[in-house]
Amino acid sequence: MIIKTERLILRPFLETDAADVYEYLKEPAVNCFACMKLNSLDEARKEMKKRLDETEYYFAIALKDGGKVIGEISAYLEAGEPHADEAPVRDTFSPCWMLNENYQGKGYAFEAAHAFFAYLFSQKGARRIYAYTEDYNLASQHLCEKLGMRREGVFLEFISFVTNPDGTPRYENTVQYAILKKEWDQKQLGQMR
Ligand SMILES: CC(C)(COP(=O)(O)OP(=O)(O)OC[C@H]1O[C@@H](n2cnc3c(N)ncnc32)[C@H](O)[C@@H]1OP(=O)(O)O)[C@@H](O)C(=O)NCCC(=O)NCCS
């Protein structure tokens, strides 16, 4: 699957993307991506090989002009809360986004995420998209709000991605945002008027 926007191409990863991905994953910008850290270009090449089969929900964000990969966007598909149904429909997506810091603040993240949400809602049967972001990650919260997502709540000391210097877990406060398909459709209609 390839998604085109005004300035970007969202496409599956290629082995030749290793150097561009290494550029932004040698020092992951936020703790929640600490486990994605790449320690060498060789590790990046191996990581690209692992991503080759991911063609539906894991995209490189490449510039139309020149083709450089400036970040990535993906989504995890899951069932909604299964309590009322033994075979719940898998219609809920949780996205993840990351840009090379040299390309932030230029509207690329919104452009990519907006096209990605449109794809999930119109082609992949998404009913609800929700995102977790840490309480100090204002850029990601801003992106959620710009996409029309509602702030649903804050989970205090919800998760730990890294440890403190004394080896104890460093817990993060996590904000949850979400948008339903009907809210998305309403918002797009409003923008067309
Ligand atoms: C979260 C993240 C993807 C957001 O990226 P970003 O570059 O801040 O977001 P955008 O691309 O939408 O850019 C926003 C700003 O670019 C500016 N901008 C410049 N040129 C622009 C253009 N042509 N069009 C639109 N905006 C433009 C605007 O000021 C815009 O701010 P506004 O929305 O207040 O108008 C980025 O900060 C990141 O990769 N962070 C590290 C990883 C991370 O935290 N991931 C999420 C974990 S929960």
- Residue 176: other Cβ atoms inside 10 A: 18
CA angle 10, 78, 57 (to 5 degrees): 15
Q: What per-residue confidence (pLDDT) applies to 192?
A: 77
Q: What's the whole-number average pLDDT of the chain?
A: 95
Between residues 166 and 81, which one has the greater pLDDT?
Answer: 166
Decide whether any atom of ligand 1 lies within 6 Å of the 170 Cβ: no
Lowest mean pLDDT, pick from 7-16, 79-88, 91-100, 126-135: 79-88
Given ligand 1 and candidates 94, 143, 147, which is best to mutate, with the most ligand atoms within 8 Å of its CB? 143
CB 62 within 8 A of CB 134: no
As a whole number of Å, the end-to-end CA separation of the chain is 30
Cα–Cα distances in angstroms (integers) from residue 71 to residues 85, 122, 162, 165, 187, in the given order? 37, 23, 22, 30, 26
What does the alpha-carbon distance between residue 22 and residue 59 come to, in Å, rounded to a whole number? 15
Segment 9-37, tens digit of pLDDT: 999 999 999 999 999 999 999 888 999 99
pLDDT of residue 82 exceeding 70, the answer is no
Tell me whether residue 138 is exposed, middle or buried, using C-beta atoms within 10 angstroms of its C-beta: 0 to 12, 13 to 18, 19 or more: exposed
Spell out the alpha helix ranges (H) of the chain. Answer: 18-25, 41-51, 108-123, 138-146, 181-192
CB 181 within 8 A of CB 121: yes
Nearest CA to ligand 1 atom 25: 107
Q: What is the mean pLDDT of residues 39-67?
A: 97
Q: Which run of H or E residues covers position 84?
A: none
Q: What is the mean pLDDT of residues 64-91?
A: 88
% the chain with pLDDT above 70: 98
Tell me whether residue 129 is exposed, middle or buried, using C-beta atoms within 10 angstroms of its C-beta: 0 to 12, 13 to 18, 19 or more: buried
- Residue 192: other Cβ atoms inside 10 A: 5
Q: Which amino acid is residue 46, in one-letter code?
A: K
What does the alpha-carbon distance between residue 64 and residue 10 come to, in Å, rounded to a whole number? 9
Segment 58-68, tens digit of pLDDT: 999 999 999 99
Tokens of 155: 């989970």
Q: What is the mean pLDDT of residues 164-189?
A: 95
Q: Ligand 1 center to residue 166 CA distance, Å?
A: 34
User: Taking Cα atoms as reference points, which of 52, 72, 79 lies closest to residue 112?
Assistant: 72
Given ligand 1 and candidates 24, 94, 98, which is best to mutate, with the most ligand atoms within 8 Å of its CB? 98
Highest-pLDDT range among 77-86, 102-111, 182-191: 102-111
Tokens of 51: 């991503």
Q: Tokens 């994605």 belong to which residue?
A: 36
